[in-house]
């Protein structure tokens, strides 16, 4: 059983959480507090498995508290953030600081929203309880991307060989680490990261400011080409279609697949319809099995498939399920993934 401590200045949120978590046999409520200053001594006295943390609170904001907690005694933390632009931005800062997931919190209809999202929330908290939060690696003083293409032959520049990536819990840090290590003219990359609506646009914008490649939230009809990274929008699915030898994003609505929207399986299976095997599929850290079956189909079509190893994963679930299915060519540590993309590209 996983113990959860809720820190939120809203009494309505705390009451709703108590009611929601009380009904699940796999979770117990360790306690609640209206701000980190009150929560800190309670957490030190009895350490919970997971923190559910608000961002904007009086006395001490959630981001400051998270950074202190990660430096002293890391606890898996799920951020409960508003959908405002500023709330989304700070929530992404929290992910960069070591939080493992985000739960969206609208300003209106909060109680009904939480009740409707109970299954997703509890699944996220259970995944967080199994995670191994890590202090982010220090960034260099200069984080401005250098969009200068590396030297390649004309053949390599003309070849359209897509890279598809699936990730969930812990994936935002993993994706950032990979993309920051790639040159500006790396193969086009399509990413499904399990993340709520509105957060994906901010996530893509953040990556665009850190990476040599151009990163944006996918729009229907966007061409996947060299130097471009497309991130599936939260609350939508993303597929790839091929026309005239080029790949394009298809952004569409529809029911969740494997409880997720966007779903990794939807992206991976769409590539199966068009690839001649000249593609690369990567499964990164995350809870559950979304993408495992799609990766198996890609593997059977001759697509090279990679999975992040257990030691570098925050949660080993998604890579493990793909490995169990025999869908993975090679298991690699996170810090070897960028080189694997470069080697794949160099095959011509």
Catalytic residue IDs = 168, 194, 290
> Nearest to residue 191, comparing CAs of 234, 150, 160, 129?
234
Q: What angle do CA 82, 88, 90 make, to 5 degrees?
A: 105
Q: Strands 304-308 and 280-283: what pairing?
A: parallel
C-beta of residue 240 within 8 angstroms of C-beta of residue 246:
no
C-beta of residue 264 within 8 angstroms of C-beta of residue 192:
yes
> Nearest to residue 267, comparing CAs of 250, 242, 245, 255?
250
Question: Phi, psi at residue 137, to the nearest 5°?
Answer: -70, 140
C-beta of residue 32 within 8 angstroms of C-beta of residue 14:
yes
Q: Give the number of C-alpha atoms closer than 13 A to the C-alpha of residue 54, restricted to the C-beta side.
A: 27
Strands of 237-243's sheet in order across: 223-224, 246-252, 237-243
C-beta of residue 68 within 8 angstroms of C-beta of residue 43:
no
Question: Phi, psi at residue 222, to the nearest 5°?
Answer: -60, 135
């Amino acid at each position: 059983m996983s113990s959860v401590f809720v820190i939120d200045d809203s009494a309505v949120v705390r009451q709703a959480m108590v009611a929601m978590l009380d009904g699940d046999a796999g979770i117990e409520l360790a306690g609640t507090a209206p701000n980190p200053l009150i929560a800190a001594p309670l957490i030190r006295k009895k350490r919970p498995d997971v923190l559910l943390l608000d961002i904007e609170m009086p006395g001490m904001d959630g981001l400051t508290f998270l950074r202190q907690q990660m430096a002293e005694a890391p606890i898996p933390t799920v951020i409960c953030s508003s959908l405002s632009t500023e709330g989304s931005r700070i929530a992404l800062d929290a992910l960069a600081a070591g939080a493992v997931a985000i739960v969206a919190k609208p300003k209106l209809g909060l109680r009904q929203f939480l009740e409707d999202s109970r299954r997703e929330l509890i699944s996220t908290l259970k995944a967080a309880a199994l995670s191994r939060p890590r202090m982010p690696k220090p960034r260099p003083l200069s984080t401005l991307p250098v969009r200068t293409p590396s030297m390649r032959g004309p053949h390599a520049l003309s070849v359209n060989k897509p890279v598809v990536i699936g990730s969930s819990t812990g994936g935002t840090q993993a994706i950032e680490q990979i993309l920051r290590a790639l040159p500006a003219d790396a193969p086009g990359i399509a990413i499904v990261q399990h993340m709520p609506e509105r957060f994906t646009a901010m996530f893509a914008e953040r990556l665009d400011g850190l990476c040599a490649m151009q990163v944006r939230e996918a729009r229907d009809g966007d061409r996947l080409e060299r130097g471009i990274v497309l991130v599936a929008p939260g609350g939508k699915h993303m597929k790839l279609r091929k026309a005239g030898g080029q790949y394009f994003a298809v952004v569409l609505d529809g029911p969740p697949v494997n409880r997720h929207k966007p779903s990794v399986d939807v992206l991976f299976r769409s590539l199966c319809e068009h690839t001649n095997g000249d593609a690369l599929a990567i499964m990164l850290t995350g809870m559950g099995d979304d993408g495992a079956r799609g990766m198996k189909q890609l593997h059977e079509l001759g697509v090279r498939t990679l999975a992040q190893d257990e030691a570098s994963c925050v949660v080993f679930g998604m890579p493990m399920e793909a490995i169990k299915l025999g869908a993975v060519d090679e298991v690699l540590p996170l810090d070897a993934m960028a080189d694997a993309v470069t080697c794949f590209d160099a095959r011509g």
